[in-house]
Amino acid sequence: MCGRFALTLPPEAMVQIFGAAPANDLPEVPNWNICPTNAVHAVLSQEGSRRLVSLRWGFVPLWYTSPSDGPLLINARAETIATKPAFRQAARDRRCLIPASGFYEWTKDEDGRRLPWYIHPQEGEFVAFAGIWQDWSSPEGAAMSTCAIVTTAANEALGHIHHRMPVTVAAPDWALWLGEAGHGAAVLMRPGPEDLLAAHRVDPKVNSNRAEGPELIEPFDG
């Protein structure tokens, strides 16, 4: 799964890298501790143009009467995304890319303490997570745009930390995932290459969703 991540790329860099027009309400970066329900950067493709927008991380199905009307859906499993009622239409028609500099996962020691790891690209400054998005509105008219990160079974390189990992989309496949290059995006929902990501232990202070600062991603030996 993916329950926390970091992004340090400035908006200007994301605009250039993805060839996307920026919205006016983008979240602040850098952010070393992006949590569920936070606003995240996402790249959408609509009517032949890419946009860099802000989405709430936590997909809200259309039948929810409020964002808390059911489970908080921050991840969508690749194995069931095409059939699960909450996600299947978005998986067909509303896919997005969610840039991340890295993400966090946790293991436990023999005493049950949570040990955080930071997982990041071995080369380059970021990866693009596969995502799905949806506009939602309440019966009273409150509206928001929401998203979930697509996950799959972890590859061997990361399986000792967690059994799930985000689906990452390589640059040559961005157009296919966004629906610009026709059909067949389902083939992209697989674990990334074994040498794509590296991991190191980080300070347990990141266990708090209030923790901030670049030290959260620094290697930790304690």
**Which one-letter DSSP state was computed for residue 173?**
G
| Of 166, 158, 173, residue with least CA distance to 190 | 166
Q: Which phi and psi (to 5°) does residue 71 adopt?
A: -60, 150
| Catalytic choice (47, 105, 180, 194) | 105
Tokens of 46: 């609509």
User: Which entry of 2, 47, 79, 125 is annotated as an active-site residue?
Assistant: 2
* Residues with Cβ within 8 Å of residue 183, at least 6 apart in sequence: none
> Residue 127: which H helix or E strand, with range?
strand 127-137
Is 2 among the residues known to form the active site? yes
Q: Could you tell me the two tokens for 207?
A: 């266990």
147 among known catalytic residues: no
Tell me the catalytic residues: 2, 105
